Amino acid sequence: MFIRSFIIAFSMYSKFPMPRCKWEDKSMQYVFCFFPFIGAVLGGISLIIYTFLSKYDIGVGLTAAIMTVIPIVITGGIHMDGFLDTVDAISSYKSREEKLEILKDPHAGAFAIVFVVLYFVLTYGAWTEVKSSNVPIIAQGYILSRCFSGISVICFPNAKKVGTIVDFKKKSSTKAVSILLVFMILIISAFMGIVGGVLGIISALSTLLVFIYYYFMSKKEFGGITGDLAGWFLQIAELIILLVIAIFGRVN
C-alpha cells in the first residue's frame, strides 16, 4: 500500500520513471505523505549539481540558468502549469465562476506569458546572488513547500466538487497525512534554522506567510483551492525562499 502510494506520488508529480500500478482507493490513501519526498530528491539533485558546477568553476550566469531549470526538468512543469493558469484567472478580474473556467482552459493567456517571464527572470537573478553556503536552505525549501502544499490539498476547502484534487482528498487518510505533514514541517523548519541560522528561520517563516495568504486568496477569488492553485502556491513559495536567501544572504 505504501509502496503504491509512493509510486503514484512520483508518477503524478515528477518525471522519474515509475512502474505502473492501479490507482485504487487504498493505494491513494498516503500519496501526499510521499509528496515531500519529491522535494527531497529535487533538493538533493540541486545540491549535487551546484557543488559540481562550483567545483569546476562554472560561471555564475550558466550556473544560475542550470539551477533555474532543474525544478522544471524534474517535475515536468506540472506546478508551473498551475501557476500559469492561476495568474491568468486572477488577472482577468472576472467573476468566480469565470475564473474557474479560465483554470480549465488549456491555452495560456497574455498574463500567463508575462508572469512566467517575470518568474524566470527573478529566479535566474536570485540564483546569481546566492552564496554556496546557503544552497542547502533552498534544497530544504523544496521539501517544505511540498509539505504545505500537501496540507492545503487535504485541509483547505475545494473550489469545485469534482477534479483530481477532490479525488485525492476523498481517498486520502486525512488525519494521518495531516499529522505527518505537520510533523515534517516542524522538522524541516528546525533543520533550516540549524543549517541557515536566522536566514533559515526567515525562509521558513516566509513560506508560512505565503501559505496563509494562499488560504485567504483562494477562498476570496475561487471559493477554495484546485490543483492549479496548489501548484501556484508551491511556485510562489519556492520563489520567495530563493529571493529571501538571495537578498538577506548577502547581508550576512
In this prediction, residue 25 carries a pLDDT of 61
- Among 3-7, 135-139, 220-224, 232-236, the range scoring the smallest mean pLDDT is 3-7
Q: How far apart are CA 74 and CA 19, in angstroms?
A: 17
Q: Is the dihedral of CA 227, 46, 126, 242 positive or negative?
A: positive
The DSSP-derived string for 187-248 is HHHHHHHHHHTHHHHHHHHHHHHHHHHHHHHHHHHHSSB-HHHHHHHHHHHHHHHHHHHHHH
Supply the range of the domain harboring residue 30: 2-248
In this prediction, residue 185 carries a pLDDT of 97
Q: What is the mean pLDDT of residues 62-79?
A: 96
Write out the three cell numbers for 140.
Answer: 530544504
In this prediction, residue 24 carries a pLDDT of 67
pLDDT tens digits, residue range 192-212? 999 999 999 999 999 999 999
Determine contact, residues 181/32, Cβ cutoff 8 Å. Answer: yes
Q: How far apart are CA 3 and CA 16, in angstroms?
A: 15
pLDDT at 26 over 80: no
- What own/partner pairs with CB < 8 Å and gap ≥ 24 does 64-68 have? 64/124, 64/125, 64/127, 64/128, 65/124, 67/127, 68/120, 68/123, 68/124, 68/127
In this prediction, residue 181 carries a pLDDT of 94
- Tally of domains in the chain: 1
pLDDT band at 33 (very low <50, low <70, confident <90, very high): confident
Q: What is the mean pLDDT of residues 10-32?
A: 80
pLDDT tens digits, residue range 147-192? 999 999 998 988 887 767 777 777 777 788 889 999 999 999 999 9
| Cα distances (angstroms) measured from residue 83 to each of 27, 31, 54 | 28, 22, 31
Q: How far apart are CA 94 and CA 92, in angstroms?
A: 5
